[in-house]
A = this chain, B = another copy of it.
């Protein structure tokens, strides 16, 4: 199994393409899983990738398409006719098929759909395309094994043999009544262990988890992770069974969410990766840097306002990067803990008790750091007064930074805004400015200047 994407392998594939040695190329690629072939294609140029896609049979290439890097898939699809894309899509489960079609330009979507020969598949895909992004409907597949409560185990097994051929993996068998409403579920194991004359109605587990078709995918992920589910049925408001979501799609959702949050904390917006173009990366990074620049100009204006003090207490100005760094770091720590707690539904109790806890925590951290700083300044500069002023300011700055870091994500969350935007540059920048202002103000007061 342990597939290794080596330079030799890619060179070998490129050579076979150049020689148009289709037989050897097919033999070579047939050894690999479609996800591995997708990795190889991601390394080839567009012409080479299209060559391979047109060479292999559509059962394999349809799966390869779903695994390709999004940018590369877009380019490859541009090089295929509507008819060719329709053939690929016929091989896929309805959810993967709908995902691929959804990425096409509007005009092409209709062209491809009209070329799909299987009428049932066409109707399923068309239905899936109607659901909004990031809802359960947009993630679900129509393929599932469904039985009616009135059937017997033996009848059930016969029908499952028929239905199961179309369904890649049978997780659960969903039991519906004659109005197609979800009643419960059965596992294949239950069926196998049961006697063939037993009625489904006697075996069905009615305590079944389900999600509404309009539910947010993050919520679906939370439910499935919490209850350790491998598949969950999707229903409409009348509890009519519409489809199912499987755990492998949820794994992808969790990974994407984690990457998005991580990037947001680092001041990167949009879904970029290290292989994107310089222009795409600039678009994702520049806005946050610009925010930092504006914050820096704010800090400049504050310091300019205090410049008269500079003549006698230049040393105060030399500690502004320290103050800004501490304010930023404490703010990011506090907000990260809150953002994560909110994501896990871990943050209970009132905002006030949170703020009091963070204040105590910041005070403790601040005090320890301030004592260290006090002795450093006292010993190195020999000015106890200055040392005292700087240290007291530091404690105050850290407490305020902690409170802002705690309050902002809680506030955003209450307003229905994703609190993750609060970590990273946003909190760093506002804490920088506020911290420096507070620092000069307190120091000035203590030094009596």
Contact A369 B293 (CB under 8 A): yes
Contact B326 A289 (CB under 8 A): yes
Contact A322 B297 (CB under 8 A): yes
Q: Which residues of B contact A299 (CB under 8 A)?
A: 318, 321-322, 325
Q: Is A384 part of the binding interface, using a Cβ–Cβ cutoff of 8 Å? A: no
A334 to B60, CA, bound (A): 37
Q: Which residues of B contact A296 (CB under 8 A)?
A: 319, 321-323, 325-326
Measured CB to CB, the closest approach of chain B to A263, in angstroms, equals: 6
A321 to B314, CA, bound (A): 15
User: Nearest chain-B residue to A228 (Cβ)?
Assistant: B248
Number of copies: 2
Interface centre among A250, A257, A310, A424 (most CB of B within 10 A): A424
Interface centre among A160, A318, A425 (most CB of B within 10 A): A318
A325 to B429, CA, bound (A): 8
A346 to B193, CA, bound (A): 46
Name the interface residues of A260-307: CB closer than 8 Å to any CB of B: 261-263, 265-268, 272-275, 278, 281-282, 285-286, 288-290, 292-293, 295-297, 299-300, 303-304, 307
Q: Which residues of B contact A210 (CB under 8 A)?
A: 1
A372 to B293, CA, bound (A): 9
Q: Is A317 part of the binding interface, using a Cβ–Cβ cutoff of 8 Å? A: yes
Q: Contact residue range for chain A?
A: 35 or more
Q: Which residues of B contact A33 (CB under 8 A)?
A: 227
Contact B288 A303 (CB under 8 A): no
Contact A192 B160 (CB under 8 A): yes
A272 to B357, CA, bound (A): 15
Q: Which residues of B contact A417 (CB under 8 A)?
A: none
Q: Which of B255, B261, B337 contacts A268, CB < 8 Å?
A: B337
Q: Is A259 part of the binding interface, using a Cβ–Cβ cutoff of 8 Å? A: yes
Q: Is A365 part of the binding interface, using a Cβ–Cβ cutoff of 8 Å? A: yes
Contact B247 A230 (CB under 8 A): yes
Contact A314 B318 (CB under 8 A): no
Q: Which residues of B contact A297 (CB under 8 A)?
A: 322, 373, 376
Q: Is A333 part of the binding interface, using a Cβ–Cβ cutoff of 8 Å? A: yes
Name the interface residues of A225-248: CB closer than 8 Å to any CB of B: 225-228, 230, 247-248
Q: Given A251-B251, A360-B278, check contact A368 B324 (CB 8 Å).
A: no
Q: Is A412 part of the binding interface, using a Cβ–Cβ cutoff of 8 Å? A: no
A273 to B348, CA, bound (A): 12
Q: Is A188 part of the binding interface, using a Cβ–Cβ cutoff of 8 Å? A: yes
Contact A364 B265 (CB under 8 A): no
Contact B340 A432 (CB under 8 A): no
Q: Is A393 part of the binding interface, using a Cβ–Cβ cutoff of 8 Å? A: no
Q: Is A187 part of the binding interface, using a Cβ–Cβ cutoff of 8 Å? A: yes
Contact A193 B165 (CB under 8 A): yes
Contact A325 B322 (CB under 8 A): no
